[in-house]
Structure 1
Amino acid sequence: MTSSAVPEHPWLLPGALTLNPAAGARPRRTTRDWIIDSLCFLLGLGWVLLATADAASPDPEMAEPLAQPWMIPADALLGLACCVLLWVRRRWPLGLAVATLPLTLFSLAAAGPLLIIYFTVVVHRRTAVALGVTAAGLVTNLAFNYLRPEPSMPYWAATVWGVVLSFLVLAWGMFVRARRQLVVSLRERAERAETEQQLRVAQARQLERTRIAREMHDVLAHRISLLSLHAGALEFRPDAPPEEVAKAAGVIRGSAHAALQDLREVIGVLRAETGAEQIPERPQPTLADLAALVEESRAAGMRVDLRDRVTAAERMPAALGRSVYRIVQEGLTNARKHAAGAAVTVELIGGPDAGLTVEIRNRWPVGGSSSPELPGAGTGLVGIAERVSLAGGRLEYGRDDSGDFRLAAWLPWPA
């Protein structure tokens, strides 16, 4: 941050005028401003009284050689007028400094209030403007010491003291301005950091909800496809033995209950208030749960052949096992939807370092399915492709040379 980047409006800095919402853009003083302005007015008034009393001193050694009787009250009136101008110096610091610059040629009583106005210019205006006002003040300082010489001090000594005083005020004002700019910068950084933190939290929440939605799509699609399969069996076999009907109804009831439970959990998570205690998630499936998934599909009437050729399965990372489970789950769901009654082969091959290959294969249905096709969002394979891509693997799906539908994924398995 450079010193040239100074706000042109003094009320943008700490402790300066603020905007009154009820009065539009008119600046309004704060309590701190009133205290500082009152103190500046009293200091300026005290200087006027002191300079007037000194000029009216009867000591002939301290009297100015060119002083006239009318100059003392006139100078005091000019000093009092400059004290009044101190109340509006915040709004027009540069304009007041330029307008009152001729007074610095001869007025001693106005020197105190004018010095305060000069300090205000240094604090609230750019460095170039402050240096310009300083240069003009140094020129008038030469004329002032010539028109009103100090009886007890040589001309050049008095001039040097005026220069030193001007540079002291300049340095002090620039320090105050730099400190205020630093405070404003730190405040902006804190607000920006807070905003960025809120954005990161919102993005993390959105990513988590997207992940939950993807998981629920996989789970609900699997369970609802089981429901449709058993309901279709009951529809096309109304004369089935009571035992088979009861068994199918039991599977339908269990799948519906599990689907509702899953749906209730995800809705509870998505409706959770910000900052509320997070609801613990149920354990995620792993490779050990794959056998139960296949048995569930077999119980629904599917012909599934599981060929597990994984070595060192106990060393498989949990994330890899979860990905394998979701891929097989999506493959079985698609087979139930689009190739009802077709035999499905699930083959797992691989191990540490070599990676893991998951392949789900089923015959392409001939003549179309006798039952209506289950509706779907068409995002199941898209979600699996994204999951495999995030894991650093490869995914292939479609009809192969033999006419079967093949879904194959390779996932890396670090040692």
Structure 2
Amino acid sequence: MTRAEYPWLLPSVMADPPDPDLPGRQGRTRPRRTVRDWVVDTFVFLAAALIGALASDASAQAGNSEAVVLADQLLGAVACCALWVRRRAPVALAASLVAVSAVAPAAGGALMLGLFSLAVHRPFRPVAVIGVLAMVSGAVQALVRPDPSASFLISTVAGVVLVLLMVGWGMLVRARRQLVLALRERARRAEAEAALRAEQAQRLAREAIAREMHDVLAHRLTLLSVHAGALEFRPDAPPAEVGRAAGVIRDSAHEALQDLRQIIGVLRAPDDGGGDGPALAASHTLYPLGALVGESREAGMRVTLDNTVTDPDGVPAATGRTAYRIAQEGLTNARKHAPGTDVTLSLSGGPGEGITVRVDNEAPAGEVPKVPGSGQGLIGLTERATLAGGRLEHGVRGDGGFRVRAWLPWSV
């Protein structure tokens, strides 16, 4: 926010730039005088000099001696010159002008402008103290240097009103500057918070992409590994079996590419607000569970599907996608960590009751294969189920098998 961009936020021509005592300015070095600063300071000096000249002329017409008038003019000139330091030492300047103006009416203009600068640059307490002293100084001046054209009471009241006007004007300018600084700080804070939110959104998007890539490709690549391993260890297999395995490898690779294209399409397409793109919403629901089980059986797994969901067509898209991912990850883990065992995939539930997904596999006959990065998929599934409003539990059963059980909400 600059003066050129927001001139309407600046105080009037009599106002000064924010000083170090204003909020948000502590610890900053004072900037060099600008052209505007020189113009304002020159105008302030000339205004004080004009008021002092008028007061000196009135003093001469009141019948004072030439020595008194000359002393009055000298003190007034010194007071006007002292206004050039009003930004650096407003308290000391105002206090000095209060004392001088008590005996020199020509310093009255400089005192008023000094009070204005004091109210702009300093908080209320020193302004109130010096303002009261200025009122007393006005009363002393009316008593020591009386004006023949006005009574003591009128002169005193006029002095009090002028002091209140200048102090009130300065406090108004200070309050407006504080408001500008507060708005500027709020804008900076809002920009910083927006940047943090954008960074967090990018991080969450990366995590979602990583989970989706793992859920989609791990299943397909596991099938490829199983069938490729079978071809490697059985080179003398019948041509029909080799052809069938090669076809499964080809189909799995094709499906993996299709899933990868869908994920890339989701990244390029606008988000529909549900966390998954339209391509995933259309394909990864409860409907392809049969195909998922069929692929696992073709890979040599013994899988039993028990689907008793009362209304599969009415399953919400987000719930269906989450249930599909849990089933897919459970079968993939059973294939990697417990090959050759019986696996049971069961789904049950209905509207208002929720959906329960269970994947059970028997204990492996031999040593459990050690797969690098084990457990990361279950961590992602637990987070996915929690975000969907459900829960997921997994662990070793009493007979040595492994169970994954998840419950997902299904509102009516």
What's the TM-score, normalizing by structure 2? Answer: 0.84
User: What amino acid does structure 2 have at the position aligned with 1:379?
Assistant: Q
Does structure 1 residue 396 correspond to structure 2 residue 393? yes
Aligned to 1:39: 43
Query: Residues 247 and 265 of structure 1: is their aligned pair in 2 closer, same or farther, counting only changes over 3 Å?
Result: same
Shift in Å at residue 373 of structure 1? Answer: 4.4
Q: Structure 1: how far apart are the matches of 2:262 and 2:127?
A: 66
Structure 1 counterpart of 2:177, from 175, 180, 188: 180
Structure 2 counterpart of 1:166, from 154, 163, 181: 163
Aligned to 1:10: 19
Structure 1 counterpart of 2:72, from 75, 98, 111: 75
Q: Structure 2: how far apart are the matches of 1:84 and 1:267?
A: 73
Q: Structure 2: how far apart are the matches of 1:251 and 1:92?
A: 87
Show the 5 A alignment for 1:275-286.
Answer: 282-284=279-281, 285-286=284-285
SS in 1 for 2:308: strand
Aligned to 1:4: none
Aligned to 2:101: 104
Listed one character per residue, the Cα deviations across residues 59-93 of structure 1 (whole Å, up to 9, x for unaligned) are xxx424xx221222222222222222222211111
Q: Structure 2: how far apart are the matches of 1:198 and 1:265?
A: 29
User: What amino acid does structure 2 have at the position aligned with 1:38?
Assistant: T
SS in 1 for 2:104: coil
Check the 8 A contact 1:37/1:87 in 2, yes or no: yes
User: What amino acid does structure 2 have at the position aligned with 1:35?
Assistant: V
User: What amino acid does structure 1 have at the position aligned with 2:355?
Assistant: L
Query: Residues 263 and 38 of structure 1: is their aligned pair in 2 closer, same or farther, counting only changes over 3 Å?
Result: farther
My pick for the range that moved more, 189-198 or 144-153, is 189-198
Show the 5 A alignment for 1:97-176.
Answer: 97-176=94-173
Check the 8 A contact 1:225/1:374 in 2, yes or no: no
Listed one character per residue, the Cα deviations across residues 362-383 of structure 1 (whole Å, up to 9, x for unaligned) are 22111226xx644334211122
SS in 1 for 2:307: strand
Check the 8 A contact 1:350/1:356 in 2, yes or no: yes
Structure 1 counterpart of 2:248, from 233, 246, 251: 251
Check the 8 A contact 2:79/2:107 in 1, yes or no: yes
Query: Residues 89 and 49 of structure 1: is their aligned pair in 2 closer, same or farther, counting only changes over 3 Å?
Result: same
SS in 1 for 2:84: helix
SS in 2 for 1:398: strand
User: What amino acid does structure 2 have at the position aligned with 1:244?
Assistant: E
Listed one character per residue, the Cα deviations across residues 21-52 of structure 1 (whole Å, up to 9, x for unaligned) are xxx93432234323322221221122233233
Q: Structure 2: how far apart are the matches of 1:248 and 1:216?
A: 25
Shift in Å at residue 258 of structure 1? Answer: 4.9
Show the 5 A alignment for 1:213-362.
Answer: 213-256=210-253, 258-259=255-256, 282-284=279-281, 285-362=284-361
Aligned to 2:57: 53
Unaligned runs of 5+ in 1: 1-7, 57-61, 273-278
SS in 2 for 1:413: coil
Shift in Å at residue 244 of structure 1? Answer: 2.9
Q: Structure 1: how far apart are the matches of 2:140 and 2:75?
A: 18
Percent identity at matched positions?
52
Shift in Å at residue 195 of structure 1? Answer: 2.2
Q: Structure 1: how far apart are the matches of 2:159 and 2:318?
A: 78
SS in 1 for 2:66: coil
Q: Structure 1: how far apart are the matches of 2:65 and 2:342?
A: 121
RMSD: 3.0
